Amino acid sequence: MRRTVRILAIDGGGVRGLLPARFLAELEAMSGQPLHSLFDVIAGTSVGGILALGYCAPGPEGAGYSAAKVFEDIRAWLPDIFPPLPGASSLDGLRDAHERHALSQRVGAALLPHHFGNARYSAAALEDHVTRAFGVARLSDALTDVVVTAYDMRGGEPVVFRSRDALRGTTGRANPRMAEVARATSAAPTFLPPLRLLDERAESVLIDGGVVANNPAAIAYLDGVEYGRDDNGTAPDVVLLSVGTGRPSAQQPSYEEIFTRNWASLGMGLLGVVLNGVGEMAHQLVDRMVSGKPAPNQYLRIQPRLPANASLHIDDASPANLDALIRCAESAVADNRPAIEQLIAVLTQPATPPGHLTSATSAEPATATAPLPRQSTGTPTS
């Protein structure tokens, strides 16, 4: 019998990562099983990479973290990682050490980048949170296969951290600490400083994987197919859930507005274009690779349109924006409930044990299950 590989891919998007975090907490609650047992491969980029590591990390007891716990943690972390500047008229804000540090970093990055770096936020809060969450756990400790992307500015090449590769080594780049991987994948240029990672071979200067693979679905698909082949080399069937961080609302800038922007505004706008464009290209590729194949091959992309009150800025951690993202995720669950329930029925069938795709016995294909809709409500058809 042909094997079936179950894959979860999570986009990057800074603060907007709260949307997939909430969605996946609901998915886990509906299924009654932890995500690391529902999926054979979990891939993520940037904040999606942090989520992926959270779902696969062993935790202090070795049983992993629930998706609800990961959601609550991310919601609590975001205002610390992306603190707002204190109001110009608020002296009380300047008395708070955390806000003073945020202000000095923002001003220092603009005036003295050789000392403060060119990132508007310090990495201290992010590093503290991921170190507390992941401790000394390394990639090889993952409860199921995890795949996380980054980009090496010094080497000029993408970097894909794979727990499967980490199992082949014990130290250095091949098996870094999960906290280091989380820090690297989320180092968005101009927002957070890069991570300098040294090993016996070379120095790497790692930044956010979103610059090359903001939607890691295509990478996860290829990994799943490669490692899921049976002893005869037969490719497995694939069930893939891809969760985005929200599409821009229908109201987009006009030609005149884009043409008259200054260089700074245009540059920051292009970052969003790159992230959204790369993500949608990956979606179209995976859709074409999976579409038309018989059950149980299935692909579901959840990428809801953001409401007007949700910010596109990846560093807007205001309470109002976080609430808007949570409500958007809850609406996505409600809008796609039949497809989600059908997906859960497939995911909870006996399947290849997590982390052992190449050595486990074959799973029974879900031949009685109808193919899932390949996209969420409102996502354009490829």
Give, for all 382 residues of the chain, the pLDDT tens digit. Answer: 789 999 999 999 999 999 999 999 999 999 999 999 999 999 999 999 999 999 999 998 888 999 999 999 999 999 999 988 655 444 454 445 555 566 566 555 555 555 556 778 989 999 999 999 999 999 999 999 999 999 999 999 999 999 999 988 745 567 899 999 999 999 998 899 999 987 767 789 999 999 999 999 999 999 999 989 988 889 999 999 999 999 887 656 666 666 666 655 555 556 666 667 788 889 999 999 998 899 899 999 999 999 999 998 899 999 999 999 999 999 999 999 999 999 999 999 875 444 444 333 333 333 333 333 444 444 433 3
Which residues, other chains included, contact 166 with Cβ-Cβ below 8 Å and sequence gap of 6+? 138, 139, 140, 142, 174, 175, 176
Q: How far is residue 57's CA from residue 44's CA, in Å, rounded to a whole number?
A: 13
Which residues, other chains included, contact 358 with Cβ-Cβ below 8 Å and sequence gap of 6+? 227, 228, 229
For residue 2, the model assigns a pLDDT of 83
Q: How far is residue 205's CA from residue 376's CA, in Å, rounded to a whole number?
A: 36
Q: How far is residue 133's CA from residue 175's CA, in Å, rounded to a whole number?
A: 18
Sign of CA dihedral 257, 260, 265, 271: positive
Say how many C-beta atoms besides its own lie within 10 A of residue 29's C-beta.
12
The owner of tokens 């990495």 is 123
The owner of tokens 């709260």 is 18
Where are the extended beta strands (E) located within the chain?
4-10, 41-45, 145-152, 157-162, 195-198, 203-208, 237-243, 298-302
Q: Which two tokens stand for residue 361?
A: 């016995």
Strands 4-10 and 41-45, sheet pairing: parallel
Q: How far is residue 177's CA from residue 140's CA, in Å, rounded to a whole number?
A: 9
φ, ψ for residue 363, nearest 5 deg: -95, 150
Q: How far is residue 317's CA from residue 121's CA, in Å, rounded to a whole number?
A: 13
For residue 84, the model assigns a pLDDT of 80
Q: How far is residue 142's CA from residue 41's CA, in Å, rounded to a whole number?
A: 11
Q: Which DSSP category does 151 fall into?
A: E
- Residue 296: cis peptide before it, omega within 30 degrees of 0: yes
The owner of tokens 């999976």 is 290
- Strand-pairing partners, residue 8, are 42, 241
- Strand-pairing partners, residue 195, are 206
Where are the extended beta strands (E) located within 137-236?
145-152, 157-162, 195-198, 203-208
Q: CA of 40: how far to CAs of 202, 293, 335, in Å?
A: 32, 20, 26
Q: How far is residue 361's CA from residue 2's CA, in Å, rounded to a whole number?
A: 10
Q: CA triplet 145, 305, 185: central angle to 5 degrees?
A: 35
Q: How far is residue 333's CA from residue 242's CA, in Å, rounded to a whole number?
A: 14
For residue 354, the model assigns a pLDDT of 41
Q: CA of 250: how far to CAs of 254, 305, 306, 307, 331, in Å?
A: 12, 8, 9, 9, 17
pTM of the shown model:
0.85
For residue 280, the model assigns a pLDDT of 87
Please give the single-letter amino acid code of residue 25.
A
Q: CA of 193: how far to CAs of 95, 123, 189, 207, in Å?
A: 25, 7, 7, 8
Q: How far is residue 155's CA from residue 283's CA, in Å, rounded to a whole number?
A: 27
Q: How far is residue 349's CA from residue 258's CA, in Å, rounded to a whole number?
A: 50
Please give the single-letter amino acid code of residue 146.
V
